[in-house]
């Protein structure tokens, strides 16, 4: 299996986004644009929060009195509100209110697994492979407790693969369920597992202290510092020195004599932390996951493509100059190019876009990231829309959200409307409403398109923005 970007899959990097953040008032929530939808009064009450979703545009948070709310996009049903409606207003999850949240994990399927401080487990989201652990394949749009085989067990840690789930109990037992095409539930077969079952085999008499899931693999650290792995291994992410799948837990022999404290999984790579503070990594490395300095190699190779056009096999005409990138990379990364690239001499004229925008597009194809100001991100959003590159559109919207201010809010709102970016449009509109006095005094508001102005005033009126 080809290694995809962790960011595009919601596994691995999502360990960061789906980690429960405590003492939120001590954190800089500005890096999470979703919190801009909350009023200052609402932010003051937040005690814990978890940002998740493919673009960090969904959030679950608990208040100081243990009420639980969700907010954001809900196209996957992972907000747990019982419907598929997105919301820019916090919605309360009554089934979780009053329960202290201990941990939460988000699987890119997508689904959510949550544990309370009492050790109860709740799941919701997509369930085509029984990843919710309720014995069915029916999707669950509200949090439901998972009790089968977990009665009298206190769960202290949860982890999600793309379509399977895993929990760790206080007595060191590991339970798994869900999709099992590569042996990721550790049962010894490849049959899907509809309910939680304890992982035994080599873990039978071991006490686990930490767990983690990759897209289709699972791992556990036991109390003596050994690491056991199972599931998909096509990129060597199990660290066994081979690329064969492993249907039951197997100890990583290469770590003999090294005491591991924690393990973390990306989409197709793995990292562990030793008791001496060292980090070991293995698995896929196509994005420089395994070496801290590999981003320099990526940047150098990108520069080489710009500086040495004869080394590339695809030509782009930008502002009268040819820029070259690898045709194979474009075929892999951009759906639109798959349908239009038929020969090595294909030339695509993109002169309507500025050089910074176009270069940012090429850099995205190499690195999965974009680095440009929000004003240029509007042009990149246009380019992403043209080539139907949905993940890039999401990154552009994130960049625009992070760079919004009173002076550019109207321009960004106009761009969101133009490119039919509904999530961004709602975000910009809410920002304008929250800063209405200042925004209406800007040059952008004075030069606002007539139809956009008319719609803005009408919508603002409906949400009560002009009430005294």
Q: Which residues, other chains included, contact 301 with Cβ-Cβ below 8 Å and sequence gap of 6+?
A: 366
Using alpha carbons only, give the angle 200, 202, 208 rounded to the nearest 5 degrees: 75
Q: Is the pTM of this model over 0.85?
A: no
Order across the sheet with 140-145: list the strands.
101-107, 111-116, 121-125, 140-145
pLDDT of residue 29: 61
Mean pLDDT, residues 434-443: 89
Task: Give residue-wise pLDDT tens across range 79-99.
Answer: 999 998 888 889 999 999 999
What percent of the chain is predicted at pLDDT more than 70? 76
Mean pLDDT, residues 244-249: 96
Strands (E) in 134-216, as ranges, are 140-145, 155-160, 164-169, 174-178, 193-198, 208-213
Question: Per mean pLDDT, which of 2-6, 218-222, 427-431 is the most reliable?
Answer: 218-222
Q: Which residue has the higher pLDDT, 308 or 414?
A: 414
Using alpha carbons only, give the angle 441, 442, 448 rounded to the nearest 5 degrees: 105
Least confident of 169-178, 203-212, 343-352: 343-352
State the alpha helices, DSSP H only, in 260-354: 294-307, 327-333, 335-340
Taking each continuous run of H as one helix and of E as one strand, the counts in the chain are: 14, 23
Mean pLDDT, residues 150-170: 96
Q: Which residue has the higher pLDDT, 331 or 408?
A: 408
Label residue 326 left, alpha or beta by phi (over 0 means left) and psi (-120 to 50 means alpha): beta
Label residue 288 left, alpha or beta by phi (over 0 means left) and psi (-120 to 50 means alpha): left
The topology (CATH level 3) of 6-283 is: Methylamine Dehydrogenase; Chain H (2.130.10)
Per-domain boundaries in the chain: 6-283, 294-462
Give CA–CA dist 218/229, Å, rounded. 6
Least confident of 332-341, 357-366, 426-435: 332-341
Q: Which residue has the higher pLDDT, 15 or 188?
A: 188
Task: Give residue-wise pLDDT tens across range 38-91.
Answer: 888 888 888 888 888 777 788 999 998 999 999 988 867 899 999 988 888 899
Measure Cα distances from 362 to 66, 358, 400 in Å.
46, 6, 19
pLDDT of residue 155: 97
Residues 294-462: name the CATH superfamily: Potassium Channel Kv1.1; Chain A (3.30.710.10)
pLDDT of residue 341: 41
Query: What is the helix, strand, coil percentage profile of the chain, to 5?
Result: 30, 25, 40
State the alpha helices, DSSP H only, in 38-87: 40-45
């Amino acid at each position: 299996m080809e290694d995809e970007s962790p960011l595009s899959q919601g596994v691995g990097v999502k360990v960061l986004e789906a980690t429960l953040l405590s003492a939120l008032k001590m954190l800089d929530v500005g890096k999470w644009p979703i919190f801009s939808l909350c009023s200052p009064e609402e932010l003051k009450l937040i005690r814990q929060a978890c940002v998740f979703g493919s673009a960090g545009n969904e959030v679950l948070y608990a208040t100081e009195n243990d009420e639980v709310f969700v907010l954001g996009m809900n196209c996957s049903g992972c907000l747990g509100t019982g419907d598929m409606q997105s919301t820019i207003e916090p919605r309360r999850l009554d089934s979780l209110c009053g329960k202290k949240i201990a941990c939460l994990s988000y699987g890119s399927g997508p689904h959510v697994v949550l544990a309370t401080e009492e050790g109860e487990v709740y799941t919701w989201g997509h369930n085509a492979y029984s990843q919710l652990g309720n014995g069915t394949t029916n999707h669950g749009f509200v949090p439901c407790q998972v009790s089968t085989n977990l009665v009298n067990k206190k769960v202290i840690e949860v982890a999600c693969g793309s379509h399977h789930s895993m929990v760790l109990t206080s007595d060191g037992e590991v339970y798994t369920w869900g999709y099992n095409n590569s042996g990721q539930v550790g049962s010894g077969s490849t049959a899907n597992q509809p309910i939680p079952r304890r992982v035994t085999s080599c873990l039978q008499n071991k006490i686990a202290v930490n767990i983690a899931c990759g897209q289709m693999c699972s791992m556990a650290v036991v109390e003596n510092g050994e690491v056991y792995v199972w599931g998909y291994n096509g990129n060597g992410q199990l660290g066994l020195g081979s690329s064969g799948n492993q249907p039951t837990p197997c100890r990583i022999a290469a770590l003999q004599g090294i005491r591991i404290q924690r393990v973390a999984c990306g989409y197709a790579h793995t990292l562990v932390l030793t008791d001496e503070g060292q980090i070991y990594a293995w698995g896929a490395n196509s994005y420089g996951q395994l070496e801290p300095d590999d981003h320099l190699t990526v940047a150098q190779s990108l520069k080489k493509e710009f500086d040495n056009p004869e080394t590339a096999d695809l030509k782009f005409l930008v502002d009268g100059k040819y820029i070259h990138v690898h045709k194979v990379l474009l075929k892999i990364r951009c759906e639109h190019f798959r349908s239009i690239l038929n020969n090595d001499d294909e030339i695509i004229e993109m002169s309507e876009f500025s050089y910074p925008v176009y270069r940012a597009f090429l850099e995205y194809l190499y690195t999965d990231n974009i680095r440009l100001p929000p004003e240029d991100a509007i042009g990149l959003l246009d380019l992403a829309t043209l080539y139907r590159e949905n993940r890039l559109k999401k990154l552009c919207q994130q960049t625009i959200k992070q760079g919004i201010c009173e002076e550019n809010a109207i321009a960004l709102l106009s761009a969101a409307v133009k490119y039919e970016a509904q999530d961004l449009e709602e975000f910009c509109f809410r920002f304008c409403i929250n800063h209405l006095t200042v925004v209406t005094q800007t040059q952008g508001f004075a030069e606002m398109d007539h139809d956009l102005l008319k719609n803005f005033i009408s919508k603002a009126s409906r949400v009560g923005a002009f009430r005294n």
